[in-house]
Structure 1
Amino acid sequence: MSKKSSRKSSVKRLDKKLYKEELERLQIELVEMQRWVASAGARVLVIFEGRDAAGKGGAIKRVTEYLNPRHARVVALTKPSKRERGQWYYQRYIEHLPAKGEIVLMDRSWYNRAGVEHVMGYCSDEEYQTFLRQTPILEQLLIEDGIILIKYWFSVSDEEQQARFVSRLEDPMRRWKLSPTDVESILRWEDYSRAKDAMFAATDTPGSPWWVVESDDKRSARLNSISHLLSRIPYERLEPEQISIPDRPKADDYDRPPIDKFNFVPDIAAELGK
């Protein structure tokens, strides 16, 4: 067997109908959970990490799909600027931490230093070792301050990752997801494996554990991660504010401007059926 992977990708997809039914139920629960977070002034930080094409983005999208964007944010930072490179490493991430009543989902995080920066040589060994030493301390401080911190590692087999890369290459709507760094990760599979093992050894702590999501089947991964996320937040069901929709009043003597005074977008949809 190849040293690359101890498990083969024989993906059995969860039935689509079952997936959609359970996803809808979980997304209703997410809305309930967010209502409690906003009411209680809780602070929730969820970190999504994993190999390239492991399904982090898809899971985040399903989590946030029906949430109120005033109380839920996705943080996906680009590479640091020259000024940010001169800051304390964690500084640009800390400014995105949740305030009271907020849920923040990080699509990659400070763990870039333990993964791509270390493997690709973008940081020094001293910076890397400092990161492994400081991160558990930082996370413990966040937790002691009341932040609910949850960390997910999306795990994908090498065969499935390869298939997803090929799919992205052939899809004009997802081609942007495929970068030279992603392609390089194929050649450095074992380097990334070692980096992940070292990262877990240093930062998988009792107070801030890593939760592994098997993600060869994206549907199952989404349901499993959302279900687990809900279980980690001590939310209570709150009665929604009572709202009554009034009858629309009768029109008064208001005269609308002539319709030809407005600019309308072309109705290309009307042409589709012709």
Structure 2
Amino acid sequence: MSATSETKRPVPPDIRARKGGTPLVMLTAYTTPVARLVDPHCDMVLVGDSVGMVLHGLPSTLGVTMEMMILHGQAVARGLDRAMMVVDMPFGSYEEGPDQAFRNAARLMSETGAGAVKLEGGAHMAPTIGFLTQRGIPVMAHIGLTPQAVNTLGGYRVQGRGEDADRIRHDAGAVAAAGAFSVVLEKVPDALSAEITRAVDIPTVGIGASASCDGQVLVVDDMLGLFTAFRPKFVKRYAELGEEADRAIAAYAAEVRARTFPGPEHVFGEEPQRK
């Protein structure tokens, strides 16, 4: 049962139980107002490290800090009543080893109220995923294109084509066996994504993957069209709010310069004198 038809907020076992059922709906949010908008419609809301690029103007996710993720996680938590919140672990907060990962994951969960954390990496991160899940920290895995490793991967390229498909298959099996309750497949070919979805016993959440995945996730700013020049192939624009905002701001600027705003209805007169 989806979060939109049940008042009880889902927890990771509920998400895992959705394997093969009604597709899971997930969007990002970084602020309280946006969290309130997406909450009625989503099963999960991701406080993604994409916040660094979307809201802070960073060139990649590599400059995102724990403090940033906690701040935005706390803001999103204030806007959620129904959806489960998942918070990304930022670059450098877990790669050193399981002990470092546990300290930072525990901090993220305790200071934000997140239902789970998400970390990037396949087979090489399986021991860390196992360490966390054995200690009560639910983990959403993330394989395929892993933006924190973009420099190693050689850019934002599709992963798993040709002979590279075996690596992605192995990663998916490894994170599932380690105890992840779900796994994001990013920029993985359609047929391979569908194959992995059939093969693993945890839900797959696609972004630039396949409609056959057990769920989908998008960056909310992308699907709302808030960026007029950024159009990834895997994003469907459900609105063009960037263009609408540009027109509205231009109209405001023109009226200010023409002194037609504020009008009489927007200003205040003298208080009527009492007799």
Query: TM-score under structure 2 normalisation?
Result: 0.34
Higher relative contact order (CA 8 A, sep 6+): 1
Query: TM-score under structure 1 normalisation?
Result: 0.34
Looking at CA atoms only, which structure, 1 or 2, has the larger radius of gyration?
A: 1
